[in-house]
Structure 1
């Protein structure tokens, strides 16, 4: 997946018209804990609390220009993608219907509704919700926004262009990126090429949703069951073939982290930085901690990809003290 410099710069203009660049900080306690210089890219600081907003902005900007006849869109989500689409649709005066599985995060659902989204609950997991969204799109002649698309990746890449540009004098040796359906990982790979850095990129998936790790090892898309309790943003059962292609080509490795490791990373992020991270948002730190011996003394980057965790769930995670 390649983009011209002009395409990336256009994406930056589109994104930064709606939000400022998010910060990247090196936190002394995290660095001390890891035994490395750790830089955190804070995508939990966007207007919807997650990196996905960037892709929604570029997707809708292109949609409005190329298909002005579209007045209503539909998609499926576990939450952050839906907030991204709701935010961007409202900026363009479009309607948006979002399908979520039953039992989805109540606070993410509330946030989507507050953005003007029509929310439909269907199925027991993201894949079932996605398939239902496809049926509704055909039945009602709605434009269906996919969860992985070139225009989404173009927008998401701006987060990592900011990151690599800020650290251009000393790029990190490695960047850990959580993988849900892969737009975040693909965006990081695009930004690495755009900025001309040699940083290794390691994808992090839930040990209870291993489709992308299994696909990486098999060299082709492989489905895998989902049972994660904490990392709903990585609860993928069926990988996207185009996303798998990017990961096969660009990843140094794809590793798994358990819910226990994710919970510990959520506690550590809060105790060491007082940032709130949802499960997927803490997965990169969980991966870095798991591999800390490999990167000891190096410069490590992590993506804090989102902070949208339900209050009750976060309280339960915090009730166990960080080690």
Structure 2
């Protein structure tokens, strides 16, 4: 799959009316912690609190011209579903989203507020995805995939903003769920003809893409992360894997504990809230901080949709440890 410069600029015409360019800031305290010059791309400031809305706007702008069924369904842990709900409603579609049982309640509420019908099914994203396929077949609904060229081109607009900034990063860390965010970065980098190194970040507790990156074979692995639900992919997508292996330099795995520490640090240094998946990029940069000295580093905070109780627990970890000591 190839995404051209024209594809991204065309997507921008669908994205920009509703999504202003998100901030990208240098934070002195964060730079001190990393020991390098870091630029944070704040996709947590997007209208749905995550980068996914960019892909949804481009996807539905195209779908609306194709005479598709007005009923659509997708599987999600929350951010993709919010994108589909918002963009689908904008074009007059009836949106159904399938989430795993026990999914983030605040993300479920946000999707309902955007007009979607939320259906709980299965123990993880893959089970929800299979149920969404069954519902699509049964009801004749259009199934919105988690990975598609139109989604990648839309998502690539965030990367375009970052990579056309005055000081282009030497290396960028991007979290990986189903792969659209990382592939969007690869597409923008290649379209611009840059040499920026792109590093994918997966949860050590959901390592399917890491294993597949090394083996070159589509892989299934347990997705057991407790904190980074946006990275809880059990099975890789072949098109995403091919693009990632072609364009990323490596995959870094981060633990839930490392993600929690990154969420704490990001809040302490910038007062920004990141969900687990959104903080994974910072967790990877911290893991590799010795190799980053003297380099300009891009940190993509892909989303901030963490539920209140989880975030309170994460911020309270240090205090609990101090009291125990």
Flag whether TM exceeds 0.5 (same fold): yes
CA shift at 1:321, angstroms? Answer: 3.5
> In the alignment, which residue of structure 1 is the partner of 2:261?
264
Q: Give the alignment of 1:101-180 within 5 angstroms.
A: 101-167=100-166, 170-180=167-177
Using the size of structure 2 for normalisation, the TM-score is 0.97
Q: Quick one: distance in 1 between partners of 2:7 and 2:221?
A: 35
Aligned partners of 1:267 and 1:321 also within 8 Å: no
Task: Tell me the alpha carbon deviations over residues 149-192 of structure 1, each in whole angstroms, 9 at most, x when there is no partner.
Answer: 1110010000000011113xx32110000000000000000010
> In the alignment, which residue of structure 2 is the partner of 1:307?
304
> In the alignment, which residue of structure 1 is the partner of 2:210?
213
> In the alignment, which residue of structure 2 is the partner of 1:234?
231
> In the alignment, which residue of structure 2 is the partner of 1:183?
180
> In the alignment, which residue of structure 2 is the partner of 1:290?
287
Aligned partners of 2:162 and 2:168 also within 8 Å: no
Output the aligned Cα RMSD: 1.2
Q: Say yes or no: does 1:255 pair with 2:242.
A: no
SS at match of 2:62: helix
> In the alignment, which residue of structure 1 is the partner of 2:34?
34
Q: Quick one: distance in 1 between partners of 2:60 and 2:122?
A: 27
Q: Quick one: distance in 1 between partners of 2:187 and 2:168?
A: 15
> In the alignment, which residue of structure 2 is the partner of 1:7?
7
Aligned partners of 1:161 and 1:194 also within 8 Å: no
Q: Say yes or no: does 1:16 pair with 2:16.
A: yes
> In the alignment, which residue of structure 2 is the partner of 1:73?
72
| Count of residue pairs brought into register by the alignment | 320
SS at match of 2:318: coil
CA shift at 1:262, angstroms? Answer: 0.0
| Stretches of structure 1 lacking an aligned partner (at least 5 in a row) | none
Aligned partners of 1:39 and 1:301 also within 8 Å: yes
Q: Quick one: distance in 2 between partners of 1:124 and 1:222?
A: 19
> In the alignment, which residue of structure 2 is the partner of 1:278?
275
Q: Quick one: distance in 1 between partners of 2:226 and 2:3?
A: 36
CA shift at 1:22, angstroms? Answer: 0.5
Using the size of structure 1 for normalisation, the TM-score is 0.97
Task: Tell me the alpha carbon deviations over residues 119-151 of structure 1, each in whole angstroms, 9 at most, x when there is no partner.
Answer: 100000000000000000000000000000111
> In the alignment, which residue of structure 2 is the partner of 1:201?
198
SS at match of 2:164: helix
CA shift at 1:34, angstroms? Answer: 0.5
CA shift at 1:229, angstroms? Answer: 0.4
Residues 71 and 275 of structure 1, relative CA distance in 2, 3 Å threshold:
same
Aligned partners of 2:15 and 2:154 also within 8 Å: yes
Aligned partners of 1:74 and 1:143 also within 8 Å: yes
CA shift at 1:19, angstroms? Answer: 1.6
Aligned partners of 2:5 and 2:192 also within 8 Å: no
Task: Tell me the alpha carbon deviations over residues 287-321 of structure 1, each in whole angstroms, 9 at most, x when there is no partner.
Answer: 00000011112111011000000000000000023
